[in-house]
Amino acid sequence: MRRIACLLVCESSALPASRELLEVALAHSPRVEEGGADHVYLDATGLRGLFGSEEQLARRLVAAAGERGKGIQVGIAGNRISARFACRLRGGITVVAPGGDAAYLGAAPVALLELSPEMATRLDRWGIRTLGELAALPSAALFERLGAEGPRLQQLARGEDPRPLRPWTPPPILEETVALDDAVESLGPLVELVSELAGRVCDRLARRGGSADQLEWACVLADGRRHEGRSVPAAPLSERAAVTALLRAALEAHPPGGPVASLTLRARPVRIPAAQTFLGDPVRSSPRLVTATLARIAALVGAQQIGVPVPLDSHRPDAVELAPFRVPDAVFEGSTEGRSALEDGVRPALALRRFRPPLPAGVTLVAGRPVEIRSRRLAARIVVSAGPWRVSGEWWTERPWLHDEWDVELGEGVICRLTQDGSAWWLDGIYD
């Protein structure tokens, strides 16, 4: 009988990372499926002779993840769905008896299904509160009222998952190397070698029908030292000219510290399905031109100064760092991630457009509440105010911070954010 274990990162753990989970799972089973950034599945069938009972296996998995700084929950059941639901239903270790998936999930709340607001409201009106109640509904009537989504949800509620595991395999890496009889001392000949290797890699990418979303190079210097680097293009590339331009700019920004005896170029391929364009679609920039432009900018300001903002683990406003730009895999697979909120029936929320840095402002107070604002950007009477909200952080460092925030609506309908740090007022941003 098939047995599947799910490893789920605890909410209280550090930021989830699938790499650590994969390492833990692969150390215990040869068949592992990557479920997402916070969970993986492994085939627990036939592991009793190696690790003992399923409870003992689960404890080994928890201990191995703890050694890597990850707190996890482990669920073992007859399939992926039941194992993951068992993790979310109870913390720690949960082992569902063989053949008891449906009975175990019967009392679980339907919230485990991650329903849309509309579907959750509909089931609530029907009085459906548990997975067992949803599983007991007539399938034909459920299809008539909910369409194909109804039987799909019912199958999940019953813990039915006929699909086998999709074993994880390491991502393919294309590599080309050239060894030199005479070490190259100047940048010009080195760029020519890079162009030659880029041509080989791009030819292999073309035969695979893929593009490179990450490029790495390694130079072995004449004295045995290594000079390595990595470039992440703004969009996956497969054109030799674009790859060469990207690598040229990177080498010009950080040239090797001596004569180069050998050069290796590695590319990670991804497959981008062809998409039909329409006459009404907006004109898109050429990936080659975008990458070449970013490469020139990186040569001027440094690659570390270019990327996408990633929030830091801090309450400080605008606490971010730059990370390499990565197009989500779901976009490559033709997902509908780019649809607007209105198309999904979701009401869009206000977005705060921050001023960087905040603008000094003069604020008039009446009974402790702001009634007027004057700044270089705007000056108006305040008709409605909400606040203050005190935010602070990093009190344990030499540079703690603390300020009060107000959201105010001006007489002309503009909504903005004000902050006050005890000594001065600032116009922090305007809501779109």
Residue 17 reports pLDDT greater than 60: no
The arithmetic mean of pLDDT across residues 199-220, rounded, is 86
Query: 28, 60 in Cβ contact below 8 A?
Result: yes
CA separation for the pair 60, 66 (Å, rounded): 10
How confident is residue 115, by pLDDT bands cut at 50, 70 and 90?
A: confident
Query: Which pLDDT belongs to residue 15?
Result: 41
Q: Which of 99, 87, 93 is nearest to 2 (CA)?
A: 99
Share of the chain above pLDDT 70, in %: 85
CA separation for the pair 215, 156 (Å, rounded): 41
How confident is residue 276, by pLDDT bands cut at 50, 70 and 90?
A: low
Q: Which of 253, 209, 207 is nearest to 230 (CA)?
A: 253
DSSP state of 338: T
Which range (12-21, 60-69, 376-385) has the least confidence? 12-21
- Domain 1-170 falls under CATH 3.30.70.270: yes
Residues 6+ apart with CB under 8 A from 250: 217, 229, 231, 295, 298, 299, 303
In whole angstroms, how far apart are CA 392 and each of 216, 229, 310?
41, 39, 20
DSSP string, 242-283: HHHHHHHHHHHHS--SS-EEEEEEEEEEE--------TTSPP
Q: pLDDT tens digit string along 160-181?
A: 887 888 888 877 888 899 888 8
Name the CATH topology of 173-273+285-334. Dna Ligase; domain 1 (3.30.1490)
The arithmetic mean of pLDDT across residues 321-328, rounded, is 64
Backbone angles phi, psi at 129, to 5 degrees: -115, -25
How confident is residue 22, by pLDDT bands cut at 50, 70 and 90?
A: confident
Query: Which pLDDT belongs to residue 14?
Result: 42
DSSP string, 88-150: HHSSSEEEPPTT-HHHHHTTSBGGGG---HHHHHHHHHHT--BHHHHHTS-HHHHHHHHTTHH
Torsion angle defined by CA atoms of residues 361, 367, 369 and 372, in that order, rounded to the nearest 10 degrees: -50
Residue 345 reports pLDDT greater than 60: no
Residue 187 reports pLDDT greater than 60: yes
Residues 6+ apart with CB under 8 A from 70: 9, 13, 14, 16, 17, 20, 21, 24
The arithmetic mean of pLDDT across residues 85-95, rounded, is 85
CA separation for the pair 290, 146 (Å, rounded): 45
In whole angstroms, how far apart are CA 275 and each of 189, 278, 285?
39, 10, 15
The arithmetic mean of pLDDT across residues 328-346, rounded, is 42
The arithmetic mean of pLDDT across residues 313-324, rounded, is 76
Neighbours of 407 (CB within 10 A): 18
- So where are the chain's domains? 1-170, 173-273+285-334, 352-431
Same fold, 1-170 and 173-273+285-334: no
Backbone angles phi, psi at 244, to 5 degrees: -65, -45
Q: pLDDT tens digit string along 119-138?
A: 888 888 899 989 889 989 99
Share of the chain above pLDDT 90, in %: 5
Tokens of 185: 């001392």
